[in-house]
Amino acid sequence: MSIIEVLPEVNEVLRKFELPKEVGFGKIMAPIMIEADYADGKWGPLQLKAYGPITLDPTAKVLHYAQEIFEGLKAYKTDGNGPFLFRPDENAKRFNASARRMAMPDLPIEYFVEGSKTITSYCSEFIPPNSGETLYIRPFMFATEGSLGIKPSEKFKFLIIASPSGDYFKSGSVTVGIERDAVRATPGGVGMAKTGGNYAASLLSANQAIAKNCQQILWLDAVNHSRIEEMSGMNFFAVIDGKLVTPELTETILAGITRKSILEIAQSEGFEVIEKELLIEEVIEGIKSGKCTEAFACGTAAIITPINALQESDDTQYKLQNPEGPVAAKLRKTLLDIQEGRKEGPEGWVVKINPPV
Ligand code: COI
């Protein structure tokens, strides 16, 4: 028996929904959502209902103290295959790791996984069919208790919404601004958690970067401003001396599921992979000397997006020889082939979604 109660309105809103030709990324929302509330130390029922506004008390703690976490995962339905979810159990585990850091209750893993499967199943016919297009699924949880005291909320809401989406980046490669001053995360802070505040903290730098024609920011460590960390919503990889190099995970970096998958795929394709303390100067010197031939961003939304140049705030650019380089292209192809069901991946990575019962 399903753990999800399907409300009667669901069929009606699905019947009326029309998928526009141009979807963009995260702009069109599926007409249904999954919801559950937490109170009195336990989770209430999980429901599938019509998508719509939620009512919050103006003192809800999320609005004042940002007690909130989220995840992002995708359902694929390309070439008539699928729909498939990619490693939803990994997102569920990371969700609870974020919850613990933010003093929020664990969510039962089946709420996350069954909820993601169910919304995918009901939205199956709205998943755009071209390679790179997906149903982007956004599970999130936030503090709903109303009162202004700074203490962990005792009430929470969990929602899953879904967006038929195309590519996150319009162009094939990105220019990335090196952020030498502001920092994203500090030792002992919440950098490893997928919590809204980390993204809010990135927006001022994002604005400055956009003004300089950069599409992303590269964050350095908060102590010495020398070690590469991540890119807010994406992890960083470089190809140096033919080896695939990425910063080793620390408490200030979000552990990307795409990052982890790329490391496994690269190893199985015979690349040497190195996770290490990666200094910005090593990458800059590598670009200048020609040792660093490629760099790319990776993430659920970004998939694998080549970096064409790193840029300083004074506009100095370090241009990559090979922005659409062979390593990124090969890894992107294998990753998408697995996610979109053209190639068998390691056991458990790809979960086939059945039609609603
Ligand atoms: C994701 O890749 O799911 C993210 O959280 C990134 C965000 C830029 C959409």
Domain boundaries along the sequence of the chain: 4-167, 174-324
Ligand 1 and 72: CB distance under 6 A: yes
Q: Ligand 1: which residue has its CA nearest to atom 7?
A: 233
CA of 294 to the centre of ligand 1 (A): 22
Amino acid at 158: F
CATH architecture for segment(s) 4-167: 2-Layer Sandwich (3.30)
Q: What is the pLDDT of residues 120-148, one digit of tens each?
A: 999 999 999 998 899 999 999 999 999 99
Mutate to test the pocket of ligand 1, among 168, 260, 303 (most ligand atoms within 8 A of CB): 168
Top mutation candidate among 234, 235, 304 for ligand 1, by most atoms within 8 Å of CB? 234
Give the pLDDT of residue 321: 86
Q: What is the dihedral of CA 107, 140, 36, 9, to 10 degrees?
A: -140
233 lines ligand 1 (CB under 6 A): yes
Does the C-beta of 139 come closer than 6 Å to ligand 1?
no
Distances (CA, A) of 336 to 75, 144, 190, 300, 304: 12, 38, 31, 11, 9
pLDDT at 79: 86
- Domain 174-324: give its CATH code: 3.20.10.10
What mean pLDDT comes out for the span 303-308? 96
* pLDDT grade for 87, boundaries at 50, 70 and 90: very high
Give the number of the atom of ligand 1 that is nearest the alpha carbon of residue 301.
Answer: 2
C-beta of 299 in contact with ligand 1 (< 6 A): yes
Respond yes or no on whether the N-terminal peptide bond of residue 83 is cis (omega within 30° of 0).
yes
Structure tokens at 202: 């990135």
Judge contact between 139 and 71, C-beta under 8 A: yes
301 in contact with ligand 1, CB cutoff 6 A: yes
Q: What is the pLDDT of residues 151-175, one digit of tens each?
A: 999 999 999 999 999 999 988 899 9
Average pLDDT of the chain, as a whole number: 96
CA 284 – CA 247 distance, rounded (Å): 15
Residue type, 145: E
**Whole-Å CA distances, 204 to 187, 207, 251, 270:** 21, 5, 23, 40
The rounded Å distance from CA 8 to ligand 1 centre is 32
Q: Is the pLDDT of residue 1 over 80?
A: no
At residue 323, the pLDDT reads: 83
pLDDT in tens, 217-240: 999 999 999 999 999 999 999 999
**Mean pLDDT of all residues in 259-286:** 98
Which of 104, 88, 116 lies closest to 141, judged by CA?
104
Say which residues have a Cβ less than 8 Å from residue 40's Cβ, sequence separation at least 6.
Answer: none
- Does the global pTM surpass 0.75? yes
pLDDT of residue 322: 83
